[in-house]
């Protein structure tokens, strides 16, 4: 089961968002669809899912050509769901609606799919909770469980990690990755969060400037500068993954050491505006040098400042002494 588009154009009556798009979404792949806010990510997801009519071209689903695909595509949208009294369990059972008759009688197979989805997303502690009482992260997880219960080969998610803290964001992306790889689903995630997408996606679709979509694996798109061109980073170096700091102190420090302690010290000193040198033939040419050493699994910093030596036990103290 895969989905592909032929010369697809999407948008609204007076505004074309994407033109002549040819994409394919294959099983076993986690695809992140990236682009700045407002470029039309949600519209593309809705069009691919059959919830919005394309302006031109077509979306094809191998083996099915009706406009609704409730047994092939499940969606998680940005629309917030509220309903008095509805519990997490009830919300997950909505995933089985395409398989039930008007009376919504759940078969044992349906119940098993619901239980399976709850287990996969690890919701068992909150199944009886009302959705009005959930945190944003829990509600998002519940919506994802509902999509899993729908038992479709394709799942599309629109900004599933928006408004969530780092922990929840990582958890959701890991879950989506495992769904695509272990359950062999095709998963499409629209997101504008670079860091997570770069580390989890098998494939990136990048919304281009000319109503086109660039495709590629994350690393290629980073190295060929596609991301820089589209996101127009201001003060962020994607190739190192770091924020560029201004060296406002005009002071160079020679820093040596190993491991995490060394990296975090370097971070802190760069953030506070020092230029850092770690490889030099003669350390004594620099007025200031810092050695990061670890003794009995406790880090210490030896600071040599114009022939005076200090031994410090924290980076904060080090920066103050500097």
Residue 194 near residue 34, CB atoms below 8 Å = yes
Report d(CA 54, CA 36) in Å as an integer.
21
Residue with tokens 């009376």: 103
**Residue from 37, 103, 167, 297 binding another protein (CB under 8 A):** 103
CB of 138 to another protein, least distance (A): 17
Q: Which is nearer to another protein, 14 or 82 (CB)?
A: 82
Q: Who's near 144: CB < 8 A, 6+ residues apart?
A: 76, 121, 157, 160, 172, 175, 176
Instruction: Calculate ∠ Cα 248-254-257, nearest 5°.
Output: 120
Q: Which is nearer to another protein, 54 or 218 (CB)?
A: 54
CB of 142 to another protein, least distance (A): 12
Report d(CA 213, CA 205) in Å as an integer.
6
Annotate each residue in 35-54 with x if it binds another protein (CB under 8 A) or - if it does not, as one string.
-----------x--xxx---
Report d(CA 25, CA 73) in Å as an integer.
12
CB of 215 to another protein, least distance (A): 25
Residue ranges of alpha helices (H) inside the chain are: 41-48, 88-93, 108-120, 136-149, 166-182, 194-200, 218-223, 226-231, 259-271, 315-321
Q: Which is nearer to another protein, 48 or 318 (CB)?
A: 48
CB of 204 to another protein, least distance (A): 25
**Residue from 32, 34, 59, 73 binding another protein (CB under 8 A):** 73
**Residue from 13, 15, 85, 232 binding another protein (CB under 8 A):** 85
Angle between helix 136-149 and 166-182 (nearest 10):
10
**Residue from 70, 137, 208, 216 binding another protein (CB under 8 A):** 70
**Residue from 94, 231, 233, 286 binding another protein (CB under 8 A):** 94
Partners of residue 58 on adjacent β-strands: 6
Segment 146-165, which members bind another protein (CB under 8 A)?
Answer: 150
Residue 251 near residue 288, CB atoms below 8 Å = yes
Report d(CA 1, CA 87) in Å as an integer.
32
Strands 275-277 and 298-305: unpaired
Q: Which is nearer to another protein, 82 or 320 (CB)?
A: 82
- HEC assignment per residue over 282-310: CHHHCCEEEEEEEECCEEEEEEEECCEEE
Interface segment toward another protein; rule CB under 8 A; list 85-93, 163-171, 189-197, 277-285: 85-93
**Residue from 2, 26, 60, 97 binding another protein (CB under 8 A):** 97
**Residue from 84, 235, 279, 281 binding another protein (CB under 8 A):** 84
Interface segment toward another protein; rule CB under 8 A; list 80-88, 169-177, 235-243, 300-308: 80-88
Considering the rule CB under 8 A, would residue 55 count as an interface residue with another protein? no
**Residue from 25, 77, 117, 126 binding another protein (CB under 8 A):** 77
The number of C-alpha atoms within 13 Å of 286 and in the hemisphere containing its C-beta is: 22
Binding site for another protein (CB under 8 A): 46, 49-51, 68, 70-71, 73-75, 77, 79, 81-86, 90, 94, 97-98, 100, 102-104, 132, 150
């Amino acid at each position: 089961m895969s989905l592909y588009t032929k010369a697809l154009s999407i948008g609204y009556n007076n505004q074309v968002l994407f033109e002549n798009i040819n994409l394919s979404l294959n099983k076993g792949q986690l695809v992140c669809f990236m682009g700045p806010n407002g470029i039309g990510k949600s519209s593309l997801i809705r069009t691919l899912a059959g919830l919005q009519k394309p302006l031109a071209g077509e979306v094809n689903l191998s083996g099915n050509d009706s406009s609704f695909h409730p047994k092939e595509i499940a969606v998680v949208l940005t629309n917030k769901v509220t309903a008095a009294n509805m519990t997490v369990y009830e919300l997950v059972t909505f995933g089985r609606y395409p398989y039930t008759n008007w009376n919504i009688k759940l078969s044992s197979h349906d119940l098993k799919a619901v239980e399976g989805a709850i287990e996969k997303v690890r919701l068992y502690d909150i199944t009886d909770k009302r959705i009005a009482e959930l945190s944003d992260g829990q509600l998002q997880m519940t919506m994802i469980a509902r999509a899993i219960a729908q038992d479709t080969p394709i799942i599309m998610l629109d900004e599933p990690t928006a408004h969530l803290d780092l922990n929840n964001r990582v958890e959701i992306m890991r879950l989506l990755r495992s769904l695509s790889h272990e359950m062999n689903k095709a998963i499409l995630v629209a997101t504008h969060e670079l860091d997570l997408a770069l580390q989890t996606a098998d494939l990136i679709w990048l919304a281009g400037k000319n109503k086109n979509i660039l495709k590629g694996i994350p690393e290629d798109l980073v190295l060929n500068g596609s991301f820089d061109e589209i996101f127009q980073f201001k003060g962020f170096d994607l190739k190192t993954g770091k924020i560029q700091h201004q060296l406002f102190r005009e002071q160079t420090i020679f820093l040596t050491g190993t491991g995490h302690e060394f990296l975090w010290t370097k971070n802190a000193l760069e953030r506070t505006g020092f230029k850092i040198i770690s490889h030099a033939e003669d350390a004594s040419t620099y007025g200031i040098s810092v050695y990061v050493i670890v003794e009995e699994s406790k880090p210490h910093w030896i600071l040599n400042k114009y022939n005076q030596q200090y031994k410090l036990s924290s980076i904060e103290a080090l920066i103050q002494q500097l």
